Structure 1
Amino acid sequence: MRPSGSDLRLLQVFDAVVRNGSFSAAEAELNLSQSTISNHMTALEQRLGVTLCQRGRRGFRLTEQGQRVHEAACRLESSLLDFSADVGALRGKLAGELRLGILDAVAEDPGNRLPEALALFKSLAPEVKILIAQERPQDLQQKILDGTYHCGIGVSITAVEGVEEMPLHEEAHGLYCGQSHPLFQVPDDQITSDTIRAMPFVQRGYWRKEDKQQHGPGRIEATVFQIEPQLLLIRSGSYLGFLPHHYAAKWCATGKLRHLVPDHFGYACRFILMSAKDARRTQVVSTFLESVEKTWFLHEKVAY
């Protein structure tokens, strides 16, 4: 099918329902009644010839076809926004949308220059809308490749074909325990590697085998994919785990966490700017990349 203007409106309604998780939850965003939303969904299903979702007592649930249609609709919306950016550039105006993926627990990182980069970008492109979403590290690369995001700022896990990486800064991590953990009151000089190995440990689910060997000194009994869940498990007093120093600092200051044996356990995590290698870049994306490079590298550039 070749989408018409009315099809695009139906797809926007569908997207709002998916993002909000139900017809009722999408009412406020769409400013439409549930019955009108239901009629729009029925019209879209008839137009496409597939069932997009199951709705009833058990709630709203996408079908497999619905999931694929929603993914295609998101790609279409991204392409339309990029088209707007291209047309704006022809008129000498930066317009459209910049979509950026980031990780959690980065706002307090002193090495993170994203606020300065966004300020510079906004001064150069005041009419561009900015969408920033938090992602798991292992999902960020794929969503850059499929066009969900123009760029991502995250950690270097495994090189992926088609993703270009620009080194930004390093984030220092240390080993921490909560105040009710058995080691909280034990002096560092009495904590050995064998002591640590005997303790339950929380790992990051995206660590490679070599990362686990290097950063998993204890018995792995819990897995997380983001920093905040890891903090919760460490604060429970039941697990040891690594945290960024900048993120743990306020909890250490209040006595809720302790940094263990800092001279022996710790590592640096490399942050990078990721973008799709072969994707045609709009002027909006190029301007953002230039803004990042200018703000990060006004400071001393880290050699890798």
Structure 2
Amino acid sequence: MRRLDNIDIRLLRVFVALADARGFAEAQIALNLSQPTLSTHLAELEKRLGGQLCHRGRQQFRLTELGQATYDATLKLFRDLDDFTQRVASATGGLSGRLRIGISDGTFTSEELGVQRAIRAFLQPGMDVFIDLSLGTPAELERQIADGERDIVIGPFSQKAPGVIYRSFASEPHLLYCGAGHPLFSKVDTAIGRKDIEDARFSVRSYRHFDDLYLVGHPRAGASVVHMEAQLMLILSGHFIGFLPCHFAERHVAEGRLRAIKPKSFGFSSVHKIAHRKVDASRVLVTAFLETARSARTTG
């Protein structure tokens, strides 16, 4: 293998994009490069490293052992480069680099949880910061922060990821809802009994499956979803009841498409945490955004 300091960083970025996309089709879109160009770049990187990085075919794209080792090492290299850029920028009084943020889906309608206000306060004119924002389930986000794929994540976490620091961020009230056309939609709360709830099809979020059932005392789930938007779709269909964040349901309630079922009996608050890895505790870009996010939430 040739000296690694002769490898073009652009080839490594192409390789990471290919690995993340698990093939050429999606990577072409992400990089805006043709498949022949991607193939040429990959072949050149393999030549410089001295081995095959992946198995590719029409139905398969899989990293080799060398490919996986290269992928992991490249991610660390990119983090180190970002850290270098941030430290140099900080020494000159500015902030620079890439900040990878992850947040639970369905939070944009919350002034407290949505990161749009924090980003608005964080980014200043002339600041050379690239924001990489992604959505995910709490379990996905905890895995990503533990693996170093995200710098900061916000969500209702189990707080089990090793090497991660969690801080309280905001609470998110939930209520049990049904949609227009559901048998319970036109019933007053006092007329809704235990059997009415048990007979209703109940949609749960897969990562809260048993918690949702226990809160209502429902015997079984009739549907399972991963994302909040999917939960809303099922409830709006008029065939399911299920929990939604109040801020997420508010507009649909006002428009007469949703109603809360016995809010005094069926409700809970989900506590969201903001988390980062312990090894990133001194990274200027991370600490700066953490401070801005907490300040934006409390002063907004």
TM-score for the superposition, normalised by structure 1: 0.86
Cα-to-partner distance string for 1:234-277 (whole Å, 9 max, x where unaligned): 22222211001111122223332222111211111112211113
- Corresponding residue for 1:52? 54
Secondary structure at the aligned position of 2:150 is classed as coil
By how many angstroms is 1:281 displaced?
2.5
Q: Is the 8 A contact 1:173 1:267 kept in 2?
A: yes
By how many angstroms is 1:76 displaced?
2.6
Residues 30 and 240 of structure 1, relative CA distance in 2, 3 Å threshold: closer
Q: Is the 8 A contact 2:23 2:56 kept in 1?
A: no
Residues 262 and 29 of structure 1, relative CA distance in 2, 3 Å threshold: closer
* Distance in 2, Cα, partners of 1:53 & 1:44: 14
Residues 26 and 110 of structure 1, relative CA distance in 2, 3 Å threshold: closer
* Distance in 2, Cα, partners of 1:227 & 1:29: 26
Residues 214 and 32 of structure 1, relative CA distance in 2, 3 Å threshold: closer
Identity %: 33
107-116 vs 166-175, greater mean Cα deviation:
107-116
For 1:155-304, what aligned pairs fall within 5 Å after superposition?
Answer: 155-207=156-208, 209=210, 212-214=213-215, 217=218, 219-298=220-299
- Root-mean-square deviation (CA, aligned residues, Å) is 2.7
The number of equivalent residue pairs is 297
* Distance in 1, Cα, partners of 2:142 & 2:72: 16
By how many angstroms is 1:124 displaced?
8.5
* Distance in 2, Cα, partners of 1:68 & 1:240: 46
Corresponding letter in the other structure for 2:94: K
- Corresponding residue for 1:302? none
- Corresponding residue for 1:140? 141
Corresponding letter in the other structure for 1:224: V
Residues 280 and 43 of structure 1, relative CA distance in 2, 3 Å threshold: same
Task: Give the gaps of 5 or more residues in structure 2.
Answer: none
For 1:114-129, what aligned pairs fall within 5 Å after superposition?
Answer: 114-123=115-124, 126-129=127-130
- Corresponding residue for 2:62? 62
* Distance in 2, Cα, partners of 1:83 & 1:288: 17
Q: Is the 8 A contact 1:95 1:125 kept in 2?
A: no
Task: Give the gaps of 5 or more residues in structure 1.
Answer: 300-304
28-37 vs 90-99, greater mean Cα deviation:
28-37
* Distance in 2, Cα, partners of 1:51 & 1:216: 51
